[in-house]
Every structure is written in structure tokens, then in C-alpha cells.
Amino acid sequence: MKKMAIVGAQWGDEGKGKIVNYFSKDFEWIVRFSGGSNAGHTIYYKDKKYVNHLLPSIMPNSNSKGFLGAGMVLDLEKLVEELSILESDFPDISSKFYIDLEAFLVLPWHKEEDEIIESMRKKPIGTTRRGIGPSYTDKVSREGIKFYYLFDESLLMNRLEDIYYLKSSYYGNKLKTSISEVYEFLIKARNRLEKLKVNYASAIEMGEVFRSTSVLFEGAQGVLLDLDFGTYPFVTSSSCMAHGVSSVGFSTFELDDVYGVLKAYTTRVGEGPFPTEIFGEEAEKIRRLGNEYGATTGRPRRVGWLDLPALRYAKIRSGLTGLVITKSDVLNGFDQIKVCTNYEIKGKIKDTPSSSYDFFVAKPVYKELKGWKNTSDINFLKYLSFIEEQTQINVDYISYGPKTEEMCSKNHLILNIDR
């Protein structure tokens, strides 16, 4: 039974939600394995837009079910909010979602800490302020709250007291939420989840189920925001690569396909290096045409040309087996398109960054290609062939609009090209 992962090949917001949603009809399970509500995955269903922050991008009217894995950090306020939005259009949909008991929680304190630390940093990261860094920090320093604590109230209270004791010694009176407020908030959210009939399970219990059926793993963020291999410290705090499926008990060797999703250009939200970034009128034009404003925070996204060295890096780091290109329609009508083919690093030309350091010192080397009128234009096919030649990986699917059905395989595109 097929196992596939879809991950971001750039700095996030590549259109993963849409692509997962497109494939989801062929899969029994859609599994989120990392990140939290910093993610914003946009999908359309019957012309209505939904933005999933925590919920896997299942197709609401299909039989597929969603699993929120142990590698995630869950903000229960956001989770209940998202489920309530879906419930109003699809009653009882919550019972299609399963939460791993080992997942960690984002507490109200974590969101306060994210604000405090960002405002104190000399060089802010530009986080989403969703408490992601502080929640993963607590996990690693062994102060985290696991989802299953919610079902043992005295354990939960004890742990909150211990954690607050530590936190208040770092933060003094800067943290505004009291222990009892956090406790009551968590119990209330747990009761709401139970009422909605959300399911709880562990990857151990789900192991047999997942192995005997089809599973689509939905990555969050993008390879260049990965904690280990992204443009550190301007990264998120979790694994953004296919390897993250290990938190659901899988190895990457069990994946039939790992698709990297990329835009026909590049965007980034937040601070940090971005070698192909462009400014001024051209940047504004792409931002406007691509509606490049964050799905989670509404911040304008920084924009730039396609970066092939970064894509080669993402291919190797995340073991990509194929590519899906999105937003090709945004560049329709451009006379010329620039593509970065190499980096000049300390006077030497490089194809592929050898470490994340290279992104900080790279000067992009560009090639200009002819633009296209639409995806049936031969110049668009040439653009795809150029990417394939340069990166030695196939572009298997093309997305040319935000709606789920605005998508085709490359073979289909070739048959319909205007010659």
C-alpha cells in the first residue's frame, strides 16, 4: 500500500496544502508529522477557502482520515477553533481526526514567551509568535506537557506547577497567565475535543493500520526552515523534511515517493538569508499577482527568483524523488524570467551549497529564460525542462491555480502544449 510524503522544498508556503489535498482522495490516511500552528496550509473545497494550521489537509467529503503525529506541538485553542470552523460546514468531521497521545502541547505560556524572546532578540527571527520555539525548547529540556497528561488531572497539575516554578524564575512576573488559568484552559479544551469526538491513539496502536493501508505524510514549513539543515538560526524548531516521518514510526525507506513542492519563484516570510530576493516594482508585482501574504500571520512575503542551488540542496537533504511546481500561473505574461543557476561563494562558483552557511554568503548567478503566456506555451515546458536538467529530478506535476483541480501531470501538459 502506497506511502508518500509531500514536503516544502523552499522556505515554506509552497502550496503543500493544495497538493496534499489534490492527492488525498487516493489515500486512507493523511498524517501531519511536525510543526504546529505556525503552518498555514490553504485548501479549497467547493470554492470555499480553508486554512489548516494543525489539521491534516484531508478532502472533507472523502473517506480519508487525519492523524496528528507525535512530532507536532499542539495549540489546543487553535485546534478547537479549526475543528469548529470545519464542523459548521461538515458536521461530525472531527471524528475523522486522530491525535497521537505522545504529541506535545503549546501552552499559553509558550505564546507569551515567544513574544517576550522575539522582542528581546537583537536580531529577531520573525517567528509566527505561535509559541513553537518555546514549546519545542521545553520538550528538549524535558519540561514539556504531553497530550496524554490531559487525561490524568493530578499529573497535569503537578507538571504545570513544576514547570511554572522554573519559568517564573527565568521570567519573573513577565508571564501573565496563572497556573490555574492554564490548567482550566487545558481541561476545557480537552472536554471540547471529547465532545467533538476527536480520537486519540498512539503510533504503536496505529502501526498495523498504517502499514496495511495508504498513507500520505503532509510536511510543514520547508527544507530551508528545517531546524538542523535550514538557514539556522532563521529556521523553525522542528524537522521539516521527510525524515520527520520517524515520529510516526516510519523510515524514509518505506516511502514510495517524496515530492518536494516548490513555487515557480521563491518566497520567504520572516528574517534570514534569501540569495535570490528581489525588491522594488518587480517584487511588488509578483507579490500582488501571487497574493503573497502569509496564511498564518498575514505578513507580506519576501519574493525572489527561483533558486536552483537551494533546490539541489533540498533534493539531497530531504531525499526528494520528484517535484511539484506551483504558482506557474503567477508568472504568466512575463517577457523574461530569471533563474539562479549557481552561487558565487568567496569568488568560487558552486552548484550546490555544501552547508547552510553558504546561504549567508552566496551571490546568485542568473540565467534569463523566455517567459510564457500560459502553461500551454512551449516556453513554460522549456522552463520545466531547464529545472529538470539542472537539478536532475523530474517535475512530475504542475499546479496553475489555487483550486484543487487546477493541476495536471507533466505528461498531460506535454500532450496539450501549443506548438
Listed in sequence order, the residues at least 6 apart from 207 whose beta carbon sits closer than 8 Å to its beta carbon are 249
3-state secondary structure 1-46: CCEEEEEECCCCCCCHHHHHHHHHCCCCEEEECCECCCCCEEEEEC
Q: Which 205-244 positions form the footprint of ligand IMO (CB under 6 A)? A: 220-222, 225, 236-237
Question: In this chain, which of 11, 15, 82, 312 binds ligand GDP, going by CB under 6 A?
Answer: 15
- What whole-number distance in Å separates Cα of residue 181 and Cα of residue 189? 12
Q: Residue 41 or residue 111: which is nearer to ligand GDP going by CB?
A: 41
- What whole-number distance in Å separates Cα of residue 342 and Cα of residue 308? 7
- Stretch binding ligand IMO (CB under 6 A), from 127-135, 138-146, 157-165, 374-382: 127-135
Q: Which residue is nearest to ligand IMO (CB)?
A: 270
Grid cell listed for 75: 495549540
Element (H, E) at 382: helix 378-391
Closest separation in Å from C-beta 111 to ligand GDP: 20
Assess contact for 31 and 218: CB atoms under 8 A: yes
Interface with ligand IMO includes 82 (CB under 6 A)?
Answer: no
Instruction: Find, among 216, 272, 298, the residue nearest to 16 by Cα.
Output: 216
Question: In this chain, which of 5, 6, 14, 139 binds ligand GDP, going by CB under 6 A?
Answer: 14
Q: Residue 107 or residue 225: which is nearer to ligand IMO going by CB?
A: 225
Instruction: Find, among 39, 167, 158, the residue nearest to 113 by Cα.
Output: 167
Question: In this chain, which of 3, 16, 190, 410 binds ligand GDP, going by CB under 6 A?
Answer: 16
Residue 53 annotated among the catalytic residues of the structure: no
Question: In this chain, which of 6, 8, 104, 395 binds ligand IMO, going by CB under 6 A?
Answer: 8
- What whole-number distance in Å separates Cα of residue 160 and Cα of residue 145? 8
Residue 13 annotated among the catalytic residues of the structure: yes
Residue 399 binds which entry of ligand GDP, ligand IMO, Mg ion, none, with Cβ cut-offs from 5 to 8 Å by kind? Answer: ligand GDP
Q: Which 11-70 positions form the footprint of ligand IMO (CB under 6 A)? A: 12-13, 38-41
Closest separation in Å from C-beta 301 to ligand IMO: 8
User: Hey, which residues does 201 pair with through a beta bridge?
Assistant: 100
Q: Residue 40 or residue 270: which is nearer to Mg ion going by CB?
A: 40
Interface with ligand IMO includes 260 (CB under 6 A)?
Answer: no
Interface with ligand GDP includes 219 (CB under 6 A)?
Answer: no
- Tell me how far CA of residue 349 lies from CA of 265, 343, 352, 356, 363, in angstroms: 22, 6, 9, 16, 9
Rounded to 10°, the helix 108-120/179-195 angle is 120
Closest separation in Å from C-beta 107 to ligand IMO: 15
Q: State the catalytic residues.
A: 13, 41
Residues that bind ligand IMO (CB under 6 A): 8, 12-13, 38-41, 125-128, 130, 132-133, 220-222, 225, 236-237, 269-270, 295
